[in-house]
Amino acid sequence: MKILVIDVGGTRVKLLATGQTEPRKIPSGPDLTAQEMVEAVKGATGDWEHDHVSIGYPGFVIRGRPVCDPANLGEGWVGFDFEKAFGKPVKVLNDAAMQALGSYNGGKMLFLGLGTGLGSALILDGQMEPMELAHLPYRKGRTFEDYLGLRGLHRMGKKKWIEHVEAVVERLRSILEVDDVVLGGGNAKLLKEMPPGARAGDNANAFLGGYRMWEK
């Protein structure tokens, strides 16, 4: 089985396939539609052999199907037939859940993706549970994403943002009683030290998660 993994982000779409070592990237953005993404991916990976496709989707996914259009991309994702468009079997998972799957080492693990928004997923004894913590209330009428996402970083500055990352990690570790917390996403690199009980993820784990999606 040769798998093409597509990690859809708010600024770029990252691609890697079985047997390849160097990811490829194509531009994303607020106007990108599902059809445009498929066409761009086909153009960028025409020389890669693959017979299955994994997609990390930046939005809510139920039973392998997006149920709402991404906040940071264009329209037309809900109801889009990815298998027909690619002509291959396709599995779709929330992007944070896909990276979480690639980061998992056992036990009960919470994954937080610190990027444009805030991704989250929980894995217990190998069973994946994508979560939508981002839009739950946190402080002063604002959500977790308002503080830990890119908006919060720009509004508060790096020092205050880090303080809230540490506070949220401590709170969620206590509430969810997890063994392991993984902080991934592009902004995790801004943390010089990981909060107690947390470890750094790696964006490359999204590709590993995409491969694991097809394991029995």
Q: How confident is the model at residue 87 (pLDDT cuts 50, 70, 90)?
A: very high
Statement to judge: residues 87 and 123 lie in one domain: no
Q: Residue 179: which CATH number?
A: 3.30.420.40
Statement to judge: residues 90 and 148 lie in one domain: no
Statement to judge: residues 110 and 91 lie in one domain: no
Q: Residues 162-187: pLDDT tens digits?
A: 999 999 999 999 999 999 999 998 89
Measured distance CA(28)–CA(53) in Å, rounded: 19
Work out the average pLDDT over 138-147: 95
- Domain ranges, residue 167: 106-203
Statement to judge: residues 39 and 67 lie in one domain: yes
Statement to judge: residues 22 and 72 lie in one domain: yes
Statement to judge: residues 83 and 124 lie in one domain: no
Statement to judge: residues 78 and 124 lie in one domain: no
Statement to judge: residues 27 and 51 lie in one domain: yes
Measured distance CA(99)–CA(184) in Å, rounded: 8
What's residue 23's pLDDT? 96
Statement to judge: residues 60 and 118 lie in one domain: no
Taken in order 80, 38, 149, 97, the sign of the CA dihedral is positive
Statement to judge: residues 74 and 110 lie in one domain: no
- Looking at the 3D structure of the chain, how many domains does it have? 2
- CA 39 vs CA 33, 98, 107: distances in Å: 10, 22, 39
60 pLDDT higher than 90: no
Q: How confident is the model at residue 203 (pLDDT cuts 50, 70, 90)?
A: confident
Q: Are 24 and 52 in contact (CB under 8 A)?
A: no
Tokens of 161: 């943002």
Statement to judge: residues 110 and 93 lie in one domain: no
Task: Please name which of 182, 209, 212, 211 lies closest in space to residue 114, comparing C-alpha atoms.
Answer: 182
Statement to judge: residues 88 and 123 lie in one domain: no
